[in-house]
Amino acid sequence: MEPEPLIPARLVCLASGSGRTVENFYEKICAGVLPASIALVITSSIKAGIAERCKRLKIPLLVINPRRYPSTQAYADALLGATLEARPDWVILAGWLRLFPIPSQLEGRVLNIHPALLPAYGGKGYYGHHVHEAVAKDSCTHSGCTVHFATEEYDAGPIVLQEVVTLPKGSTPEEIATLVFEAEKRAYPAALRALIEETAYWEDGKVYWGSN
């Protein structure tokens, strides 16, 4: 008897930048290799590249601008309220540059990807080109990406998987960024698929691989 097909997981994606990661998920979903659907994308600015990308791909988009809220807490409440209203199975941080307030009902359901091999080059201030510039400055021979669960501390949650990238000698930050993003395009959907299929799972703040 064949197993029943998985019900597609509902994703809410948070993106602050161009939205390349969201489009990568969209492409994997359309190709049938990721059993999911994007219920909503949230961004903090209508000027972010993700806005035009969502329009082109016909993905629901919600702009929640922090400048329109009287306090950090009010903004966090609005962000969390919109996320929960969309009833996500998973929250995907896709180039999201703020800490996401994680309530108990979303613990172990919020994923992030970091453009380095954590714990190296992680923490507040290490994002995007800042990471690649630091890697280039240190003349590293390897870098990569890390998919991990998000927590209340930057880049500190339990790791789901990492992909290592070999760097040619003298690689510039731009060249490193290109190589690492190609790894991200593989690693992030692969990690999410493993979690959806429960070949990887969160339990008591740790990640395990195998049957749950």
**Catalytic positions, written as ranges:** 114
Q: Are 179 and 147 in contact (CB under 8 A)?
A: no
- One-letter amino acid at 169 equals K
Query: Coil, helix or strand for 54?
Result: helix
- One-letter amino acid at 171 equals S
Provide the 8-state DSSP code for 123. Answer: S
Alpha-carbon span 41 to 54, nearest angstrom? 8
Tokens at 191, concatenated: 């990690």
Phi, psi of 29 (to 5 degrees): -65, -45
Query: Coil, helix or strand for 45?
Result: coil
Which stretch of DSSP H or E encloses residue 176?
helix 173-196
How many helices (H) and strands (E) would you count in the chain? 5, 9
